[in-house]
Amino acid sequence: MIPVSCLLEVVFDKIRYSRDTKLSIALVLLGVGVCTVTNVSVNTKGFVAAFIAVWSTSLQQYFVHFLPRKYSLSSFNLLGHTAPAQAASLLLVGPFLDYWLTNKRIDAFNFNVPSLVFIVLSCTFAVGTNLSQFICIGRFTAVSFQVLGHMKTILVLILGFLFFGKEGLNLHVVIGMIIAVVGMVWYGNASSKPGGKERHSHSSRSSQQKHGSESSITKVRRFC
């Protein structure tokens, strides 16, 4: 989702990334790909679902950052306005989408106590994830949230190896984790530097103002 989020910021917000920022993002993607991608198989349903998921999530995260700035909303106000619509759309579309992808109906699932407990836990964690998402994206940007969010992927892999055994842990997984973490540190350093990530329109306006002020000073000097 990082390339799509970058594209949205470049197209709509006129964001310009420095060379170091671009390279750090590429390094993060390389590291995550090395440690997570093991077997690739593509089919039509999976491709369509992945395409819709990537673009819808990227657009949602972009507007989470855009709308509070436009309407002067806090993260909690925006979450309170959007959460009911998201929940309603999930309840309406989710069962049909699950059946289309898995050929299994939700009402045919055997609900028992353990499954209900894990459903409640999953919903609870989802609320916390939504809160952190709205707070972080409202303060930073969707790209920064995605880059830092890959640390969650690394931690999930590490905890999985600790609690469920070291099956699947090998040298290229460890190397991928190290590459991803180095890319995250590099991104934080590169994006925080002047020119690492800036709006093109703002920089153009600043240069025009600077040129105008220099012209006015020159005119005053000539007049004097």
pLDDT by residue, tens only, the chain of 224 residues: 888 988 898 898 888 889 999 999 999 989 888 888 776 777 888 888 889 989 998 998 898 888 888 888 887 888 888 888 888 988 898 889 888 888 888 888 888 999 999 999 988 988 888 888 888 877 778 888 888 778 878 888 888 888 777 776 778 888 888 898 899 889 988 888 887 777 765 444 444 454 454 444 444 444 44
Tokens found for residue 207: 């240069």
Cβ–Cβ contacts within 10 Å for residue 132, how many?
13
Domain that holds residue 22: 2-223
Task: Indicate the DSSP class of residue 154.
Answer: H
Instruction: Kindly give, in sequence order, each residue whose CB lies less than 8 Å from that of residue 199, ignoring residues fewer than 6 positions away.
Output: 13, 14, 15, 16
Instruction: Using a cut of 0.95, tell me whether the model's pTM lies above it.
Output: no
Overall number of domains in the chain: 1
